[in-house]
């Protein structure tokens, strides 16, 4: 079992951000509050604050993701850090260099933070355990394990639209079994105290013992959507269609695709979310993805502020109970 305490320093402050699991509610709220203070940076004439000036952040992506890498890059640059993007598929790892060799060589260049995306579960934890003192690791998605920054930007989006978490019923629809996004969302929603978490999926895409996650399982879409306040649609991986998990895209859409008719079962003011990229006509109808209840593009925008918050906290941790001081001072200095 992966130990979570390596994410925190001796004072309980954030050093790495690897998974939501094991983090306390107070820390998640602190990150959301810090992100709120960064949300207005994009509206400024100069879209930068000086908090990480002089720091070097490396986007170390072992699998492609334009959206995630770009928002991390923008977040780092808005914090005034220097950013290095490593195209690992074309790097020395293809020539036999190990993961630790890559880490040590980059550390020798005096890099301060690594944002790591890797197809193997646990890769970010492995790097964090071997990172030099003073170097922070942010998990940008590892295998089927976790995608904690995506979960936090989703929580930020929910809080902006719905306020308090404790009154909410949240329904997650799609490939729960293979989704690192769903796993992180469930941990975050549970930690923040939502009223009910539901998951809706075919039986072949539900993990064993889902009760251990604290969710209610549905295999019929409208039943799972009934009176839901927040609907999160997950991307369906094409490889699941080629395997035995699902018969076809068409059948999946007929049973689990979010249509206008299915949406009628949810609360009248329910919001619709999706981590992207969207398979239109498979997971969700275009009229909903582009409609008034959709907050999908807002999720993307909020991702920058949330990742700014996480990186700034990991690099410049503030004492517990003081979530906004350093951020607000930095913004005033950079104004």
Segment 22-44, tens digit of pLDDT: 999 999 999 999 999 999 887 78
> pTM of this prediction?
0.89
Helix boundaries (H) for the chain: 25-38, 66-78, 99-107, 123-130, 148-162, 180-192, 221-225, 238-242, 249-256, 260-263, 286-289, 296-315, 325-334
- Summarize pLDDT for 132-156 with one digit per residue, the tens: 999 999 999 999 999 999 999 999 9
Q: What percent of the chain has pLDDT over 90?
A: 70
- Contact in structure between 169 and 198 (CB atoms under 8 Å): yes
Task: Delineate the domains of the chain, giving CATH numbers in brackets.
Answer: 5-145+302-321 (3.40.50.1370), 148-298 (3.40.50.1370)
Banded pLDDT at 323 (limits 50, 70, 90): very low
pLDDT per residue as tens digits for the range 155-198: 999 999 999 999 999 999 999 999 999 999 999 999 999 999 99
């Amino acid at each position: 079992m992966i130990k979570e305490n390596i994410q925190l320093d001796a004072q309980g402050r954030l050093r790495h951000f690897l998974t939501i699991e094991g983090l306390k509610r107070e820390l998640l709220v602190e990150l959301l509050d810090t992100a709120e203070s960064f949300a207005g940076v994009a509206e400024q004439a100069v879209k930068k604050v000086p908090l990480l000036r002089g720091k070097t952040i490396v986007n170390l992506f072992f699998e492609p993701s334009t959206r995630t890498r770009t928002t991390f890059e923008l977040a780092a640059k808005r914090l005034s850090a220097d950013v290095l993007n490593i195209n690992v598929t074309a790097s020395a790892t293809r020539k036999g260099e190990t993961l630790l060799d890559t880490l040590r060589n980059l550390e020798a260049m005096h890099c301060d933070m690594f944002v790591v995306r890797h197809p193997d579960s646990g890769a970010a934890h492995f790097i964090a355990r071997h990172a030099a003192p003073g170097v922070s690791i942010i998990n940008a998605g590892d295998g089927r394990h976790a995608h904690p920054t995506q979960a936090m930007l989703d929580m930020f989006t929910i809080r902006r639209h719905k306020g308090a978490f404790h009154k909410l019923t949240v329904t997650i629809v799609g490939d729960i079994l293979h989704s690192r996004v769903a796993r992180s969302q469930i941990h975050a929603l549970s930690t923040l105290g939502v009223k009910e978490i539901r998951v809706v999926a075919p039986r072949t895409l539900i993990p064993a013992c889902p009760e251990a996650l604290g969710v209610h399982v549905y295999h019929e879409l409208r039943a799972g959507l009934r009176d839901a306040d927040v609907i999160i649609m997950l991307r369906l991986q094409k490889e699941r269609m080629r395997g035995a998990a699902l018969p076809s895209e068409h059948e999946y859409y007929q049973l689990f695709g979010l249509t206008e008719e299915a949406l009628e079962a949810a609360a009248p003011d329910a919001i619709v979310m999706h981590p992207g990229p969207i398979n239109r006509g498979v997971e969700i109808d275009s009229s909903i993805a582009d409609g008034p209840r959709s907050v999908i593009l807002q999720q993307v925008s909020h991702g920058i502020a949330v990742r700014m918050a996480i990186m700034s906290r990991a690099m410049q941790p503030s004492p517990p109970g003081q979530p906004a001081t350093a951020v607000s001072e930095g913004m005033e200095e950079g104004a």
